[in-house]
Amino acid sequence: MAEPRRPRAATELKRARLLDATEEVMLEEGYAAVTSRSVAARAGINAPLVHYYFPTIDDLFVAVLRRRGEQGVRRMEQALASPEPLRAWWEAASDPRGTALLVELMAAANHREALRAEVGEFARQVRAMQMERLSTLLEEYGLDVREFPPALIAAAVHGLAFGIVQDAAAGYDTATDEAADGMARLVARLEERRRSRAT
């Protein structure tokens, strides 16, 4: 039985350029501005080529989400395995570019069924990973899992990071700097407590 042909390097490079261009359009103009023409113009190619690589705009959105989602899963795995997992997790969760793109993808998912299913699957996968690690990690920080269950901590970290980045990007005056500074202090205190408990 013949092995399936692997995509040529040039094909993969063009796909990556189109995904990069799509992300830039989404971040600068919002997901509704993503069209084959806007993406092609940003990538410097002819518009029909967008549909050669991605037959529909939904296919393009799903490809952007899968690429970003896979990167996010890897980054979360690394954060949770790092010497300071809570700090690394907070830094990963509050990355402005990644979170801004997630905001746009979630907004698009409200109107695109194919994308909605993909967003839900990545969210489930990442949350399960976080909760599994937190089930043992919280004790290292001196937190009782009965009082502060993993589901609460995971939702609180994600929700706060998401809210801070979303409000800051939108220019809302909601004391985002104060909230981010407060979380940074809390994380530093918890990391110090974890180090002292380990010695």
* pTM of the complete model: 0.83
Judgement on whether residues 37 and 48 belong to the same structural domain of the protein = yes
CA distance 98 to 28: 13
- Do 63 and 151 sit in the same domain of this protein? yes
Same domain, 135 and 50: no
Q: Are residues 167 and 104 in the same domain?
A: yes
Residues of the chain with pLDDT under 70: 1-10
Q: Report the number of distinct structural domains present in the chain.
A: 2
Domain CATH code at residue 47: 1.10.10.60
Using an 8 Å Cβ cutoff, are 54 and 63 in contact? yes
**Is 172 exposed, middle or buried (CB count within 10 Å of its CB: 0-12, 13-18, 19+)?**
exposed
Is the backbone of residue 60 left (phi > 0), alpha (psi -120 to 50) or beta?
Answer: alpha
Same-domain check for residues 68 and 156: yes
Residue 2 lies in a domain: no
Does 47 lie in the same domain as 128? no
Taking the C-alpha atoms of residue 43 and residue 24, their distance in angstroms, rounded to an integer, is: 10
Integer CA distances (angstroms), 29 to 39, 41, 57, 86, 120, in order: 12, 14, 16, 33, 24
What pLDDT is attached to residue 3? Answer: 57
In 30-149, which residue ranges form alpha helices assigned H by DSSP? 36-43, 47-53, 57-80, 85-93, 96-109, 113-140
The pLDDT of residue 19 is: 97
The label of the residue with tokens 């997992």 reads: 85
Identify the residue whose tokens are 């698009």: 108
Residue 89 and residue 119 in one domain: yes
Chain centroid to CA 133: how far?
A: 18
User: Do both 75 and 116 map to the same domain?
Assistant: yes
What's the CATH number where 118 sits? 1.10.357
Q: Are 84 and 159 in the same domain?
A: yes
Q: What is the pLDDT of residue 9?
A: 67
